Structure 1
Amino acid sequence: MLLFLTFRSVLTQNRLHLLRFMNNGTPERKLLWQRLVQKQRQIIQKQKGAVQERFISARTAGNTIPISSTDRIVGRWLLACSGMVAGAVILGGVTRLTESGLSMVDWHLVKEMKPPTTKDEWMAEFIKYQQFPEFKILNHEMTLTEFKFIWYMEYSHRMWGRAVGLAYILPAIYFWKKGWLSRGTKGGVLFLCSFVCFQGLLGWYMVKSGLEEKANSYDIPRVSQYRLAAHLGSALVLYCASLWGGLSMLLPQHKLPETHQLLKLRRFAHGTAGLVFFTALSGAFVAGLDAGLVYNSFPKMGDRWIPEDLLTFSPVLKNIFENPTTVQFDHRILGISSVAAITAMYLFSRKIPLPHRTKMALTCLLAVAYLQVTLGISTLLLYVPTPLAATHQSGSLALLSMALWLMHELRRFPK
């Protein structure tokens, strides 16, 4: 195919010489021939680009690690698990947005799996809820029907979490017994199964912080933003580890030439992925402090680029994690920085010959980044409507997925 395209390019060059030879006569004919010459040159450039890209694809196609059938099964399982973790993160975000997370005031691994069915059981559950600060301060006029809605939201989140745990542990035991896991994969699977159990315990530890009586009776009952960030952060780590493992077992790895530009692009991709991760994590502080309701304007915060109450807490470091204004300001800066970094990386990558799949990962990352920042600004300007805010939270997972995909495409080929 490469020889054929090269021969075709030579023929096109000879055609240009013929056109130049015939370029005589009236000015109209000369203009017509000049247009034809320009068109032929454009065709030559396109053919050269196609030849170069196919040459790279052909060179990398013969230098990939073969994937066994068992690896494909395990890889699909890990991708399915990462999808379930993503569902848990999205459902947890909706639970937080609807202020349903404190409706279940106790935690039992098996006992609470059966929801109340009779009116007496529902009243007993409602009476338990009435003994805690959220009902006393915020929801003292709540009816039983309204309580059922927030209870079912939290119940769905907890049951989904249990399903995630089973999705990790049961197939892992089966694959282990069948001998489908290599030595290195066994360590990763043990980490994932242990971490998913830790994630469930961390979720209850987070909920307990919202059930405690505050020192000041006027404090709004909410979970600790620190514990919320830890819960979300651990879920993101679990998601990233599962997604990376699935991609490693399903996608053949390219053997790219280790040029200076490629090394720079790889470091750029790693830094950008880290920036996207910390931007998503900062969203937990925004949600935990309801910081999205403080300044609902963009690009300025109110009438100022830097709000006056940015550093009102003492000590100053406390503002970063506990001042809603500072938390929103930081999230804005991180979001804008992420989009700027992704745009710069995309422009830089256009100078480097890359396989088609890698180019597609870059394009998807850029598209999702601009979609995500649009969702974030819209959520802010519209005073955080629940559907739009939940979509924005889901977008952070999509953006992180694209960043991981690109990192996977650019990783070093093992020697």
Structure 2
Amino acid sequence: MAVAASTEGVSLARVPQSRSLSAVRTWIYCLAALVVLMVAVGGATRLTGSGLSITEWKPVTGAIPPLTEQAWMAEFEKYRQISQYELVNKGMTLSEFKFIYAWEWGHRQLGRLIGLVFFLPLVWFWARGVIKGRLALTVLGIGALGGLQGAIGWIMVASGLEPGMTAVAPIKLALHLTVASIILACLVWVAAGLKDRSDAVRQEAPAGYAPRILVGLILFQIALGGLVAGSKAGLTYNTWPLMDGALVPPASALFVVRPWIENFVDNVILVQFNHRLVAYAIVAFAVWHAWTIHRQAKSSRTAGRATGMAGLALAQMALGIVTLLLAVPLWAGLAHQVFAMAVLAMAVVHARVSTI
């Protein structure tokens, strides 16, 4: 009787703890959703040419947009001093400026919102002792990475404000997108690890390192996608599967820039070709992974997730091809970027669950 009572007490004690961790998991998934929204708004900001409309970094006072006509004219005048206006948008009206300003302001405002959604619940959970130890350090690390991301964002914008520049530097845009993706991956990894899966362990099958390799490949592909976006490589060679009439462009075209290492960033032919190659590699690896798991344990949850990942990889490649063939219309460019975040999130869940 004493043993039974003790066991029951432990079981009851676990209920509030389980509910608390469930609340933490929901909070972290909400943060992940906001990060995906941030990536979407960032993509729209880039595709509408709005990213350089705000020429100053004011983390606090910048939260308030211009409220008077005089304030709007002052902001417009600052924009008219940069090269993008002189070389691309000369003659732009104030109403047109307000449109691009709204996209960039919304992007920065969403960043501030994410900061609040991160910090306020963190203080609450920490004060109640729900977040502590290793989990606390992990969450703080993600928060620090988020703060760094804000600085990277400004460094990226500043690169486009330099004389003669009409857009941000591709390598810095790729870094900004990659760090956002890493933050998303970390959030999903932590949230997926907080769910009690003890009852589902019997339905899992050994997956080895393949799920983690898949996550790494997807992150690498997202970085390459950032280079494609930053260099506008998607607006050239809008055919598939051939590039300029060949499956593999000649070396003379792939490495025309000197020194040769700069081709990987500045040569739109090589930038797009690398993005294509890694897409093929991801699809091939995902299909191989699903086939391998099905051979080992066809009815396992692991096999089901692996099959889902193969399907997502194929769908994302198809969407990328459509985006290329249509010369990157706004809807397709955004869909391709946001769906990449969904593929990454699902890959992370697959990798995390496979290690529990």
Q: When the two structures are superposed, what TM-score results if normalisation uses the length of structure 2?
A: 0.91
- Equivalent residues in 2 for 1:220-299 (5 A)? 221-253=166-198, 254-255=200-201, 262=206, 265-299=207-241
Counterpart in the other structure of 2:126 = 176
* Aligned 8 A contact 1:100 1:151 in 2: yes
AA aligned to 2:291 is L
* CA deviation after TM superposition for structure 1 residue 356, in Å: 4.8
Alignment partners' CA distance in 2, 1:302 and 1:94? 29
Counterpart in the other structure of 1:201 = 151
- Equivalent residues in 2 for 1:385-400 (5 A)? 385-400=329-344
* Aligned 8 A contact 2:254 2:269 in 1: yes
Counterpart in the other structure of 1:120 = 70
* Aligned 8 A contact 1:76 1:250 in 2: no
Counterpart in the other structure of 2:10 = none
- Structure 1 residue matching 2:260: 3-state secondary structure: coil
* CA deviation after TM superposition for structure 1 residue 103, in Å: 0.3
- Structure 2 residue matching 1:181: 3-state secondary structure: coil
- Equivalent residues in 2 for 1:301-340 (5 A)? 301-308=243-250, 309-340=253-284
Deviation string 1:98-135 (CA, Å, 9 cap, x unpaired) is: 11100000111121211122222211111110001100
1:92 aligned to 2:42? Answer: yes
1:103 aligned to 2:53? Answer: yes
Alignment partners' CA distance in 1, 2:98 and 2:308? 41
AA aligned to 2:78 is K
* CA deviation after TM superposition for structure 1 residue 198, in Å: 1.2
Identity %: 34
Deviates more, 1:96-105 or 1:361-370: 361-370
AA aligned to 1:105 is T
Gaps of 5+ in 2: 1-13
AA aligned to 1:228 is L
AA aligned to 2:324 is L
AA aligned to 1:364 is G
Counterpart in the other structure of 2:29 = 79
C-alpha RMSD over aligned residues: 1.9
* CA deviation after TM superposition for structure 1 residue 250, in Å: 2.1
1:70 aligned to 2:70? Answer: no
Counterpart in the other structure of 1:7 = none
Alignment partners' CA distance in 2, 1:390 and 1:345? 28
Count how many residue pairs are aligned between Structure 1 and Structure 2: 339
* CA deviation after TM superposition for structure 1 residue 268, in Å: 1.7
Deviation string 1:4-28 (CA, Å, 9 cap, x unpaired) is: xxxxxxxxxxxxxxxxxxxxxxxxx
* CA deviation after TM superposition for structure 1 residue 358, in Å: 2.8
1:382 aligned to 2:326? Answer: yes
Counterpart in the other structure of 1:359 = 303
Alignment partners' CA distance in 2, 1:113 and 1:268? 44
AA aligned to 1:290 is K
AA aligned to 1:293 is L
Alignment partners' CA distance in 1, 2:38 and 2:52? 17
* Aligned 8 A contact 1:361 1:405 in 2: no
AA aligned to 1:174 is W
- Structure 2 residue matching 1:212: 3-state secondary structure: coil
Alignment partners' CA distance in 1, 2:108 and 2:156? 13
* CA deviation after TM superposition for structure 1 residue 257, in Å: 9.9
> 1:159 pairs with 95, 109, 118, which one?
109
AA aligned to 1:175 is F
* Aligned 8 A contact 1:168 1:192 in 2: no
* CA deviation after TM superposition for structure 1 residue 307, in Å: 2.2
AA aligned to 1:246 is A
Alignment partners' CA distance in 2, 1:406 and 1:110? 39
Alignment partners' CA distance in 2, 1:269 and 1:239? 17
* Aligned 8 A contact 1:269 1:406 in 2: yes
AA aligned to 2:135 is T
Counterpart in the other structure of 2:351 = 407
Choose 1 or 2 for highest CA Rg: 1
* CA deviation after TM superposition for structure 1 residue 225, in Å: 1.4
* CA deviation after TM superposition for structure 1 residue 256, in Å: 5.8
Alignment partners' CA distance in 1, 2:299 and 2:118? 33
Alignment partners' CA distance in 1, 2:166 and 2:317? 30
- Structure 2 residue matching 1:350: 3-state secondary structure: helix
Deviation string 1:290-338 (CA, Å, 9 cap, x unpaired) is: 0001210000002122224111011221111211110000000011111
Alignment partners' CA distance in 2, 1:189 and 1:271? 23
Deviates more, 1:102-111 or 1:352-361: 352-361
* Aligned 8 A contact 2:28 2:191 in 1: yes
Structure 1 segments, 4+ long, off by >6 Å, are none
1:344 aligned to 2:288? Answer: yes
Alignment partners' CA distance in 1, 2:299 and 2:196? 13
Q: When the two structures are superposed, what TM-score results if normalisation uses the length of structure 1?
A: 0.78
Alignment partners' CA distance in 2, 1:177 and 1:251? 23
